[in-house]
Amino acid sequence: MYFSLFLLFFSITSLNALPFNIIKKETDILNTPTLLVIGGIHGNEPGSYFAAALLSRYYHIKQGNLWIVPDLNRPSIQQDNRGINGDMNRKFSDIDPQDADVETVQEIQKIITEKQVALILNLHDGHGFYRKKHLNTIFNPNAWGQTCVIDQGTLDTEHPYGNLNEIASKVSGELNNDLIEGHHFFDVRNTNTRFDDEAMKHSLTYFAVTHNKPAFAIETSKNLPSLHHKVFYHLHAIECYMKLMGIKYERTFDLNMDAIEQLLKNHDYLTINNNIYFDLQNLKNSLSFIPLQSERNEFKFAHPLGSVQKNKTQYDLFIGNQKISTLIPSYHPKELCSIPITILADGKTQKLSFATDFFVTADFKIINNDLNTRVNVIGFTKKGVKDEANILVGLSDLDSKYSIDTAHKSYRVEFYQKNRFCGMVLVHFK
């Protein structure tokens, strides 16, 4: 599929990992500017982090450089909470070393102040629709929705993108040429942070501005009718900034509601310990007897907002703020076994490795003559048969209770040696 060209892996347990993902798309770091886009500082603003996720998955940079942090406040995103440890966007002027967010804040501060970063966008979904005059509780001067937010008109010292007001005005003007509905129009909101806004002095953008980095918040409205509306405006705004900076890109879709809605449904896949594979589309709410290790499981999501949270003895899987399933493990020690996997899918021979999948229309058979290896097709039972290799299996032979998906089309095929789990592949019936 075309999308796989830009596929990246997002590993949760790598050593010395940052508490968030960073995706770098670079062409020439010496001669072209780098835009840093940050999503998810507030965990209950999904437009912000899903926009950053689509940016990292479906945009290809042809000139200039783009860095994306899609999930700055990952633990709060999982819980769809503004900030489980308080408002992270109020911790940038000083932070208590005991604060649970200290590592995240310090790491993103290092990234913001890196020399090559020329402009920073912090993405939010804000309340209501900003209007200079008070109309009602949704449309008023205190609303944040549909604004390009700046802390001051210009940076204190010379910078190619130092005219914040001019840039924000240009971007909001361009956004207003392409609105889904007229009342979604954008405006510049200058918080005059230094003089007028005590709270904003602790924000990420003001930290950047005081380090002579041009920074803007993009606020779509929480009151827009759907997630894809919010993502549409975020992506459109980001594209305006890229254009302004001379960053050239290609995206693999048309920027419209339908296309975005479809892309948001694509949760892609997950591998665990390089021997387990799950397609994450239409996954059942809970999956049992998943052969995990008792510790140090390595979860790799294809989706940048994929994450896992251990909840007592279970593992909750998330894409952004959406809990997509819970894995109930059966623990197995880490095994290093290499078993050549040969299958007959609709009569055709295929070779596979662990943590992959294959498709069949009618039936499949796992070919295996190694007496030390036992094959277990989860959901298949035949009296007196322990090793399910060399048996033809069709969809009607499988108990739908054991499918991993709600459509009852995908099943696990597991390989064991001396009753120890080696790995699995996934079979999909078309």
**Binding stretches for Zn ion (CB under 5 A):** 42, 45, 124
Locus of tokens 């929480």? 222
CB of 122 to Zn ion, least distance (A): 8
Q: Residue 173 Cβ, how far from Zn ion at the closest point, in Å?
A: 23
> Considering beta carbons, is residue 25 or 124 the nearer one to Zn ion?
124
Minimal distance, residue 231 CB to Zn ion, in Å: 15
Minimum distance between the CB of residue 42 and Zn ion, rounded to whole angstroms?
Answer: 4
The nearer residue to Zn ion, 49 or 380, going by C-beta atoms, is 49
Q: Which is nearer to Zn ion, 101 or 363 (CB)?
A: 101
The helix (H) or strand (E) run that includes residue 51 is helix 46-58
Phi and psi, residue 240, nearest 5°: -60, -45
Looking at beta carbons only, is 144 or 415 nearer to Zn ion? 144
- Computed over its alpha carbons, how large is the radius of gyration of the chain? 25
Euclidean distance between CA atoms 25 and 260, whole angstroms: 21
CA pair distance 303, 323, nearest whole angstrom? 14
Please, which residue, 45 or 363, has the CB nearer to Zn ion?
A: 45
CA dihedral 188, 194, 200, 202 (to 10 degrees): 140
CA atoms within 13 A on the CB side of 14: 10
| Closest approach of Zn ion to the CB of residue 71, in Å | 14
**Shortest Cβ contact with Zn ion: which residue?**
124
Burial label for 225, CB within 10 Å (0-12, 13-18, 19+), is exposed
DSSP 8-class letter at 382: -
**In angstroms, rounded to a whole number, what is the distance separating the alpha carbons of residues 429 and 410?**
6
Nearer to Zn ion, 45 or 239 (CB): 45
CB 59 within 8 A of CB 72: no
- β strands within 48-134, DSSP E: 59-63, 65-69, 117-126, 129-130
Q: Least distance from C-beta 217 to Zn ion, angstroms?
A: 8
Q: Judge residue 96's burial from the number of C-beta atoms within 10 Å of its C-beta, 0-12 exposed, 13-18 middle, 19 or more buried.
A: exposed
- CB contact at 8 A, 326 and 319: no
Minimal distance, residue 421 CB to Zn ion, in Å: 43
Interatomic CA distance for residues 35 and 240, integer angstroms: 12
Asked whether the beta carbons of 315 and 327 are under 8 A apart, the reply is: yes
Question: Taking the complex as a whole, how short is the minimal distance between the CB of residue 126 and Zn ion, in angstroms?
Answer: 6
Nearer to Zn ion, 43 or 379 (CB): 43
